[in-house]
Amino acid sequence: MAAAGTGAKPLRLFLLVLCAALLAAAAGEARADAERSRAAVFAEARALAALGRLLFFDPALSASGRMSCASCHDPAFAYGPPNALAVQLGGKDLRQPGVRAVPSLRYLQAIPQFTEHYYDSDEEGDASVDNGPTGGLTWDGRVDRGRDQARLPLLSPFEMANASPAAVVAAVRRAPYADRLRRLAGGSLDDADKVFDVLLQALEAFEQSYRDFYPYTSKYDAWLAGKATLSAQEARGLALFNDPAKGNCAHCHLSARGNDGTPPQFTDYGFAALGVPRNPAIPANADPAYYDLGLCGPLRTDLRDHPDYCGLFITPTLRNVATRRTFFHNGIFHDLTEAVAFYASRDTDPARWYPRDASGAVETFDDLPAAYRANVDREPPFDRHRGDKPALSDAEIADLVAFLKTLTDGYTAGK
Q: Give the distance from CA 350 to its chain's centroid.
A: 28
Q: What is the residue-level pLDDT of the chain in tens, covering all 415 positions?
A: 333 333 434 444 444 555 555 555 555 454 455 556 888 888 999 999 999 999 999 999 999 999 999 999 999 999 999 999 999 999 999 999 999 999 999 999 999 999 999 887 655 556 677 889 999 999 999 999 999 999 999 999 999 999 999 999 999 999 999 999 999 999 999 999 999 999 999 999 999 999 999 999 999 999 999 999 999 999 999 999 999 999 999 999 999 998 889 999 999 999 999 999 999 999 999 999 999 999 999 999 999 999 999 999 999 999 999 999 999 999 999 999 999 999 999 999 999 999 999 999 999 999 999 999 999 999 999 999 999 999 999 999 999 999 999 999 999 986 6
Nearest-5° Cα angle at 81, 77 to 85 = 135
DSSP label at 333?
B
**What is the distance, to the nearest Å, from the Cα of residue 183 to the centroid of all Cα atoms in its chain?**
32
Question: Which domains does the chain show, CATH number per domain?
Answer: 8-103+144-213 (1.10.760.10), 219-407 (1.10.760.10)
Residue 110 gets the label, from left (phi > 0), alpha (psi -120 to 50) or beta, of: alpha
How far is Cα 68 from Cα 203, in angstroms, rounded to an integer? Answer: 12
pTM over 0.85: yes
Measured torsion, CA atoms of residues 121, 123, 127, 132, in degrees rounded to the nearest 10:
-60
3-class DSSP state of 362: strand
| Residues 61 and 168: beta-carbon distance below 8 Å | yes
Backbone angles phi, psi at 61, to 5 degrees: -75, -5
Which amino acid would we find at residue 152?
L
* CB contact at 8 A, 244 and 396: no
